[in-house]
Each structure stands twice: as structure tokens, then as C-alpha cells.
Structure 1
């Protein structure tokens, strides 16, 4: 047998194991509300090849690809336990087991590491929490995809309705079509049918009512059987407490804004300050995509090195706020053709840092350039540190943060020398550190941070909603603090 035959046989064997993982992962998710992760990446509803690629990611941890032959025993061990709702990282289980010298069996070690999700420690499965989307644009449709994707257990967030302005003939059909197909993010993973007579969209078994209204005050959500719901405002029309309070109608308990909040509206970046949200807070903001991209790495750098001052320059994809061709716009430059120009504009991300990181005393300034790409942006974060560091030291630190810290769902890390913006379409992280572009000289560090300003940000929004609704379940093994 040749070397190529050996490689092919090995691949087919791993395919077979990955294939056998899928029903185990699905059963844990549906029946016990357990999300199986591999180094913070969900394996729920993933294909055979996707599972194998996710295992390959583990090369970043110890320089070697993690094999499904190593993780499968831990997955099997989980299926024998009486688990409560949780997120369990089999990649971390495999890594910590390697470092453990007590000679425990895989089954005993797994039971010990996930003890917080079993027995008296087990969290009760919660009733599904209703969610309403007010607006159904770029972010609204991606949040809808994520909510539908995560509805498998039936005990998490449940998208009940979307609220839009009526747009005439076949409105619901056209909106369903935009959910089904996306020029950037591809096809919807599942089936979508439309019931025009009852004004509903059925997506993977989720019945979503389409409510037509020109103003929040026109809707009584209890008429649609919606109770204690979280409403996600994707329009950005109202950004202060007074305006967003209009959404607090019968059936709505909390309002989450997908834009920077004004005044005393809390700006929340999941992973950084989500745990500061007061239980009785009814209105909050998920800040902006750029704020979510820069705040986690900024916090990481401040925690380790101290930050005296900083400037962020965002090279941002164009958005629907700009014109396709030159036309009138209330902003000075955004009226010029978005696909044909680089457009200097403002960003509120720098000023929003103070809300998310109130203990950071450093002055952070910012500006933005819109460029002719439809998605994925890059933030260039230029920092003056409180102490000197080397490039290798900062790289090792940020790599470790991305793999094992509480910020690992927010910060990713890439070493590929040929990476370009389109490679990050669909990234679920708030930002991705580009190792090759990082610059450090004395007390000056310049971080290049890619981010999918649509999908990555939508993932952050859903994480905030999960947290405030009580369906963000604990992760085992617990991340290092």
C-alpha cells in the first residue's frame, strides 16, 4: 500500500467516526439541552467534513491536529451521564485529560469535569423564551437564522414573530425569499414555507408570525400568544431609552437594540460586560459591530499590559446606509457611490468603549473608511502600552486568550499568511487577530482585527439575548480565568 493509500484510508476511517458522532451530538442537544463544543466551536448540526475541519483547528493549541479518535471516547462518556442544560467542550476535555496524571479512566475523568452539570448541580430545563424581531434587514435576517439554528432542543430562544412595515403585493413571499437566499451568507440551512393567508413563515418547524405595523404602539403581542418576550430592534430608528420604551407593549418584557445606545442605555459587549446587566433592566444595546470587534482584544491587552491611549481605524465594508450611485444623503460623504469609492466617515466605536470598559482610563480615538466590499471589515487598533513587550510575547498571549480564556468565543486567532477579508465571512467570533500583521515595538502595539460585521456581530447579539433570558448555559470544563 502506498503512502497516499494510507492517507486516504485514514481519512475514510475518521469520516466514519465523525459520522457516528452526529447522532450522539444531536441526541444530547435535543433530549438534554446539551451543546457539544470543540474548543468553543459548536458541533451541533455540523456535517462530517465540518466536524473534521473543526478538529483540525486544534493544531493551534499544541501544534498537532486533534483526531476524532481522541474525542469520541469523551462524547460516548457524556451520553452515559444524566446531564442538565450545558455546553460541554470535548476538545478541552481531551486536552485536560492528556495533562492529568492520576490515571483516571475517560469515563471517570469526564464525570468529574462535568459534575457541575449533573446531579444536584444540574440546571432545570427552562421553558422556551419568546423572541420578536422588530425589523428584518441584514442583521434581523441573520439573527433569525441563528435563532432557528439554535431552536433544536425546544428549550432555548424561540423566534415567534417579526414586525415590518407592509410593502405591498407578495410582501411575505419576498421576505421569506430573502431569508432563504443570501448573496453573502449563502442558502438557509433547512426548509422554508410561506402561509400567506395566515401571514406566517414556517422555517425548520418554527412558526414565525409576520406582523405589519408602522409604529410599536400599534401592536399588542399578547394577541398572537406571545408572552414575556425579548424584542430585538434591528431598525436603529430609536436609540435612547424614551424611544426604545415604545416597544414595551403587552407581551414584551425586554428590548435589545442592535446599534449603539444613547444616553443611559447600557452598551453590552458579550464576554466583556454582559454580567453587569441588572436583572430588572428592560432596555439595553449590543453596541456596534466595530465596538464588539475592538473591546474584547482591548480588554485583553489592558489586563496584561495596561493601555495608556489608543486609536482605532476601521476599514469597513459598505452598508445599506450608503448609496449605490451618487445621490443625496444627509451625511456629507455617504451619498457618494459605495461600490465605487473609499469613503471617510465617522465611527462611534471609540466613544462606546467607555461604556463597555468603564475602568479603562485610556483615551481611545477612532475613525472609519468605508470600502467597496459587501461584508467583513478590519479594525486597526494602535495602542500605547503601560510597559514594553516583544512581538512574540504579545502573539503568544493573544493566541492563548483566543484558545483558553473567557474571551475565547469573542477572539479568534489566525496565522495564515495569505488570509484576506472574504475568508472571514461567516466567522462567529467578534474579532480575529491577524498574527502576521501584528506589530510591536517597545510600548507600541498595533493589532489588525478582522470581523464579519454582519454575522459575527449577530452572534454577539444572540449571546446577549441568551444571557438576559437565562438560557446561556454554563460551559464545562470551565474556561481559565
Structure 2
């Protein structure tokens, strides 16, 4: 290769770096001024580095077979910045792909006015300021793996005027330096890396300040023993991530604390507690429901994919096996455990155990009641799991047909927040750490022959599940934003 060719590669890279660098203030202004969240095929661009923005463009080849060009997305950001947008989620990667099909027939600005029409010229500074003052108080009851990731999402989203405000966490005091230890666990994470921002501790007032968010740390021995109004918190949604209380009676104790309006459980509910899988059965709850569950991480990962397959091909029956990362419920070394096999060392063994995910599917998709069996294998990895769906279908199909359909579901359907799609022969579990879709279909692993299909679905059992919890809480608080491009626009076809 000649020196001239080598120089051309480097020159192209530095030029793309410069354009990505120019994107950052546009992305930030749209986020903080208009509360517009931009992304590329579901990869959020907020607070991303130049390299991460370029990597998001590179990822597009998994969806569209070729890398997305910053020369195509930058003009879209510029044009969106001029449209005085109201709050929304906008995927500029999908918009770029759609515009490439019509660029000879339509100007970019006219295309965007059509594509995001409902929020064009909807920016109102006074309304924005008034909206920011009408926040919804959120309390995290418990601060374990899910609690801390929920905190990260809530703090991250607060920067763009998101109206969910993390006001407090509630824990039992564990040591004299409990506050510093809690802050340290939020600051550093062996799986998800360092907290993106700054964290300080207010020892005198027992609070953690994360990126300017003042989070009161409340010490309590029970869910019914807190007066939240003493801390300026009222009408709050409490997210119970302890897993201790799971039925209506015990979770109802939260409602006995002053200042609580509703309770969300980050585990499968028991008895009459409704389990909601965001994107699937949201219609099953009403404003009268004061206690809701978000099922399990596995249920959230598989139900959107199962619904998509059921709607297109029909499902006669099937078996679900989850290859699941180990959790705190297991022992580090062999020791007593009330459940079978879970007492054996988690980092040293594959542990065959039970899962209620297959039965839980019926709560969200009643048509599949009794049609699925399920089991689980806990494996020696700290995060990211895989669900294997072995299905007998009503309609014969092929591997390519199934993959193309699921790719379209991930790109254009109402399930685009829940279902992602990847097609790479080299991906492994660590590649999905931090993935915020409920599940990611591995297209390279799909098997389909006649009426039989086997699907492999990756999921970050912490990050993806936490994102689902926030989606439900946002909807409960009336703070869900429109998503663009919408399904079924002319540019999709």
C-alpha cells in the first residue's frame, strides 16, 4: 500500500473525528434546551465521547449492512436544531437511512418536517421551565445491583430536563461509614465501570450529590416507617428493589409511609400484584393500580421477542432455557442455601436451577398460557445472560425470513425499545454489558427449518432490565415522549 493511500485513511479518520466533535454541542443543546434525546439505532448519543459517537455510526453496519456516515447524520442534527422541537426521542440513524431513499425527491428540511412533524415548532421556553418545575419524586428502596443501576439512569436522564427526579434512597445502616460506602459503590462498579460524572457526600445531612442531583439517604428498618414529607418528598413513586416484599400486603406497607403514591417492584410479583412488561401489556394497568411489578429480567427479555414471533408466525408450543449470569442469591463458595443447588459455588460451577419466566410469560401474553416450559442454568459470569427459545410455529418459515422480520421489528416496530438485533459472528456476552434493550436477538445464531425455530436472545440482566423499569415508571408518571421516526411512515417502505 502506498504512502498516499495510508495518508488517505488517516485523513478520512481525522475528518470524521472533527465532524463527530461538532456534533456534541448540537446533541447537548437539543437535549438540554428541547429535551430531545438523540440516538443511532437505539444507541443514545447524550454525553458520549467523539470515539463513542463514531462507534455508534460503525455499529449501524450490524443493522443496515454498511457503516453510517457522519456526513449524513451531521446535517440532520443541524436541521433538527433549527426546527424548534418539542420533547421527543429521535433516532438520527434511522432518519438518515430513510432520507437516503428519498433525497432526490425531497429536501432534508422538508423530509424532517414530515418525519418529526408532531413536535416541530413545539418548543416553548416558558412551558419548558414550568414542566421542569413539575417533577415526579422517585425513591429507591434498596440500593443493590438494580438499585444502583436505576440511580445511574435517573441521574443521567435528569440532565436533559427529564421530570423524574431521584430524591432519596432508603437502606438499613450497615456501618458507621455507611454513607461513604454507598457513595463508593455508586461511583465504582466492577461490571459497568466508573460513574460518568461526579459524586460528593454530604455527611452532615446524610446525602449523596451525583451530577448535581441531591439524593437523601434515609435509614429505615421497614417500608412503613418513613415520613418522606419531612425530606420535602411527596406523592413519590417508590421503586422497591430489595426483592424482600413481593405480595400486595407486604408491598402495601410502603403506602403507609407518608408521601408515597405508588410502588413498583423490581421482581416478579406474587398473588394479585400485576406484572407489567413495558411495551407489551401496559394496557393491563390503570391509574387505580397503586402497586405494580416489572416481572423478571428474563421475562422482559423474552416476552417482546415471543410476541413478535407469535404475531407473525404463531406459536404452537416451545421451551425456554436461560443461560444466566450468577447473582447475589448464590454463594461464592459452597455453603448452606435453602434452594436446591444454589448453595454450590457460583464462580466455579454451572448451576442448574429453576426459573419462573416461562410461566410468567402468560401474565403478559395470555395466548401462550401453558404453551412454554422453562429452565435455567446459572453460569460463572457476573452479568449478561442469554435466553434460548426453542419454538414450534404455526407457519413454516426460513432462517432468513425470521431474521429479516426480527431486524425490522428492532428497527421500526412498537417494540424497538425492547427488541434489538445484531448480526455478527464474533459477539460474546461481554459485548452486551450496558445494553439497554430488554433483549438482543443474535441473528447469526438463529435456526429455522419449516415449523421449527430456535432463537438466541442476549440480555444485560441489570442494565436492560433497569431500563425497562424506568420505562414503566416514566409511563406511570405521564412522562413518556414520542419516538421518531414513527412506524409506517412513507419513508419506511
What TM-score, normalized by structure 1, do the two folds share?
A: 0.96
Distance 1:200 1:461, change over 3 A: same
Deviations 1:177-214 (A, max 9, x none): 01000111110101111111110001000000000001
Q: Matched residues in 2 for 1:378 and 1:327: separation?
A: 27
3-state SS of paired residue (1:142): helix
State which of 172, 181, 206 in structure 2 corresponds to 1:199: 206
Q: Matched residues in 2 for 1:393 and 1:211: separation?
A: 53
Query: Aligned runs of 1:80-91 on 2, under 5 Å?
Result: 80-91=82-93
Residue aligning to 2:250:
243
Residue aligning to 1:2:
4
Work out whether 1:417 is the aligned partner of 2:404.
Answer: no
Work out whether 1:434 is the aligned partner of 2:450.
Answer: no
What TM-score, normalized by structure 2, do the two folds share?
A: 0.94
Residue aligning to 1:299:
307
Q: Matched residues in 1 for 2:94 and 2:382: separation?
A: 35
Residue aligning to 2:28:
26
Report the CA distance between 1:279 and its aligned residue.
2.5
Between 115-124 and 270-279, the greater mean CA deviation after superposition: 115-124
Q: Matched residues in 2 for 1:29 and 1:314: separation?
A: 37
Residue aligning to 1:220:
227
Q: Matched residues in 2 for 1:323 and 1:282: separation?
A: 35
Residue aligning to 2:397:
389
State which of 19, 40, 43 in structure 1 corresponds to 2:42: 40
Residue aligning to 1:360:
368
Work out whether 1:350 is the aligned partner of 2:352.
Answer: no
Residue aligning to 1:57:
59
Give the count of matched residue pairs: 481
Residue aligning to 2:408:
400
3-state SS of paired residue (1:2): helix
Query: Aligned runs of 1:17-416 on 2, under 5 Å?
Result: 17-100=19-102, 103-119=105-121, 125=128, 126=131, 127-248=134-255, 249-361=257-369, 363-416=371-424
Q: Matched residues in 1 for 2:70 and 2:428: separation?
A: 29
Report the CA distance between 1:241 and its aligned residue.
1.3
Task: Assess if the C-alpha contact under 8 Å between 1:323 and 1:334 holds in 2.
Answer: yes
Q: Matched residues in 2 for 1:316 and 1:28: separation?
A: 38
Report the CA distance between 1:140 and its aligned residue.
0.3
3-state SS of paired residue (1:216): coil
Between 104-113 and 445-454, the greater mean CA deviation after superposition: 104-113
Report the CA distance between 1:92 and its aligned residue.
2.1
Between 288-297 and 437-446, the greater mean CA deviation after superposition: 437-446
3-state SS of paired residue (2:306): helix
Report the CA distance between 1:235 and its aligned residue.
0.5
Between 20-29 and 394-403, the greater mean CA deviation after superposition: 394-403
Q: Matched residues in 1 for 2:456 and 2:478: separation?
A: 34
Task: Assess if the C-alpha contact under 8 Å between 1:164 and 1:211 holds in 2.
Answer: yes
Report the CA distance between 1:275 and its aligned residue.
4.2
Q: Matched residues in 2 for 1:100 and 1:280: separation?
A: 46
Q: Matched residues in 1 for 2:268 and 2:487: separation?
A: 29
Distance 1:388 1:121, change over 3 A: farther
Deviations 1:35-93 (A, max 9, x none): 11222221111111111111122223432211111011111111112211111222222
Report the CA distance between 1:153 and its aligned residue.
2.1
Distance 1:120 1:44, change over 3 A: closer
3-state SS of paired residue (2:305): helix
Q: Matched residues in 2 for 1:236 and 1:475: separation?
A: 32
Report the CA distance between 1:119 and its aligned residue.
4.4
Q: Matched residues in 2 for 1:122 and 1:40: separation?
A: 27
Q: Matched residues in 2 for 1:101 and 1:34: separation?
A: 24
3-state SS of paired residue (1:103): coil
Task: Assess if the C-alpha contact under 8 Å between 1:128 and 1:154 holds in 2.
Answer: no
